Amino acid sequence: MNVMRTGMLLAFMTALFMGVGFLIGGTGGMMIALVVAAGMNLFSYWNSDKMVLRMHHAVEVDEANAPEYYAIVRDLAANANLPMPKVYVIQNDQPNAFATGRNPQNAAVAASTGLLQRLSPQEVAAVMAHELAHVEHRDTLTMTITATLAGAISMLGNFAMFFGGGSRENNNPLGFIGILVAMIVAPFAAMIVQMAISRTREYAADRRGAQICGNPLWLASALNKIARGAKAIVNEDAERNPASAPLFIINPLSGQGADNLFSTHPSTENRIAALEAMAQEFGRAPAAPHSARSPQAPVDDQPGDERPSPWGRDGGGRKGPWA
């Protein structure tokens, strides 16, 4: 099902890319766009993860220079029976995180310095468990490739604004109107990605992430902090590359809080409510509403855990070598 969904999405994005090419350069432009799209699909499959990491200036870390963060990811990957992903840090004050990679064997997870500094170890563990759930569900391939293609469509629309439609040899039947359509399509490229990336994946990743880390309330508390931080702190890299927004656990773009048809993410309040309902299933009802909850999540290892969790040693957020 995931392979079919990815294939259909790629076909749609390719057709859109070709359509914009036709509006700019007629049949010749469409054929050029087809060749470019085919090459881009192939290139994106192998390299889109590297491109997204580069967009956000992510730096790979290991056990030597980020021991606590790396240990959290390592233990969570073991809990989920996943290969150990590459671990990255994004030098950005906005608390946020994302996962990328074409499959679990070639996955990477990235957390911002703002997230690592502002969240407790339990909350960091819950966030990274959510990202590993995306890896397990193979959502990362679809999200990274569509982000790359949407960015390319936006650039093609900008090209139409400056260079398209001036020649009479252009066999575009719509003429200048076609160029205007191409220019209008480009700003909606990010919206297309938002609609293409089903928001039900976030709920599924929340639920699976809570299972991996062992406590839904840790993720609920983390989402609350990240949402508030995302509203207060501008992520300049994300603003420059809006097509990458669906990759993040919380929308990193400013002014995007509504849970509507075109939102990149479900409402944070709805996600927290679902996690609190899941906590009741686990027998861990929240002691207070999420808006008033203490930033220090309770340390509550699951019965039957045979080894201590690195995120269960204390409840306070700590700076590390990534600071």
Cite the annotated binding site for Zn(2+) by residue number: 130, 134, 202
Helix (H) or strand (E) holding 89: strand 86-90
d(CA 52, CA 243): 10
d(CA 90, CA 97): 8
Which active-site residues does the annotation give?
A: 131
d(CA 148, CA 190): 10
Query: What is the phi/psi pair of residue 156, to 5°?
Result: -65, -40
The position carrying tokens 């994302």 is 98
CA distances from residue 210 to 12, 18, 201 in whole angstroms, order as listed: 33, 41, 14
139: region left, alpha or beta (phi > 0 left; psi from -120 to 50 alpha): alpha
Helix (H) or strand (E) holding 108: strand 108-112
What's the burial of 312, exposed, middle or buried (CB within 10 Å: 0-12/13-18/19+)? middle
- The percent of the chain in helix, strand and coil, each rounded to the nearest 5, is 60, 5, 30
- Output the known binding site: 130, 134, 202
CA distances from residue 7 to 4, 219, 322 in whole angstroms, order as listed: 5, 31, 38
Structure tokens at 231: 């509203």
d(CA 22, CA 20): 5
